[in-house]
Structure 1
């Protein structure tokens, strides 16, 4: 799989939150959204997408690190989603940044850091996947998305 690097995933066009909201804690097993949030919030830029997906799978299945290692090859024999499909970027108002090494950190849409990453010319910007089919009303401006016109920080020579 090609490594994702220098990429910023913005919130989905139909994300219901216009500020970062931590996924709720539930009784029993943590949701995928909560696991993504806990791991990336507590360990920014420590996980690449493969390590994050494997750790979430390990935790959801209640496996020790030794037990999980025995299933590593089988786990990676099939594809797994990137942060464009994460509930954090689709529902909870967090952007995801992959640094030059492919390690991930999350930023609330209402933060200064989100805006800086969104407008950083060194980042490729991609939108999170929509939760629902596109509708005509979502075609307008969006607070968590880079404007479609010229990049504000780039100078044309």
Structure 2
């Protein structure tokens, strides 16, 4: 696992997130932002990809890395430190919490949804029955 992967964790929206509902990031001029690409990948494939998969896939797609070169490119990519999904605009700006299950696979939950409320209240548990680790997306501004 890459150092960016989470297991049995819920990343809540940042304390200073302006969104009161989960909103898909806008796509401008046929060049989706990192947030839009991340949203599209996770929302279209809930609990299919890990954080490491998502972060690298978004990078590789943005840089048009051919499929046959991605194994080596991924090794090079993760040879350096990379930001985790706590720094994603999904939780900082667009109102999406991110759940990583026991395998580290991800799904999105809108800040105004009942599932989100269950995660942040501690009513959701891991597959083993243990409490999930609860963390927040990074703030956009200093406290």
Q: TM-score range by the shorter chain?
A: 0.7 to 0.9
**Structure 1 residue 34, shift from structure 2 partner:** 0.1
* C-alpha distance in 1 between matches for 2:4 and 2:81: 12
Q: Alignment partner for residue 101 of structure 2, among 99, 109, 114? A: 99
Number of paired residues?
134
* Runs of 4+ residues deviating >6 angstroms: none
Structure 1 alignment gaps of length 5 or more:
135-157
Tell me the secondary structure at the aligned position of residue 47 of structure 1: coil
Q: Alignment partner for residue 28 of structure 1, among 24, 27, 30? A: 30
Tell me the secondary structure at the aligned position of residue 26 of structure 2: coil
Correspondence for 1:40: 42
* C-alpha distance in 1 between matches for 2:71 and 2:32: 21
Q: Is the radius of gyration larger for structure 1 or structure 2?
A: 1
Tell me the secondary structure at the aligned position of residue 21 of structure 1: coil
**Structure 1 residue 3, shift from structure 2 partner:** 4.6
Correspondence for 1:149: none
* C-alpha distance in 1 between matches for 2:14 and 2:21: 12
Range 8-17 or range 115-124, more displaced: 115-124
Instruction: Rate the CA distance shift 1:84–1:2 in 2: closer, same or farther, 3 A.
Output: closer
Structure 2 alignment gaps of length 5 or more:
126-130
* C-alpha distance in 1 between matches for 2:43 and 2:6: 19
Q: Normalising by structure 1, what TM-score?
A: 0.80
Q: Does 1:129 align with 2:138?
A: yes
Correspondence for 2:55: 53
Contact kept? 2:10, 2:100, Cα under 8 Å: yes
For the aligned residue pairs, the C-alpha RMSD in angstroms reads 1.4
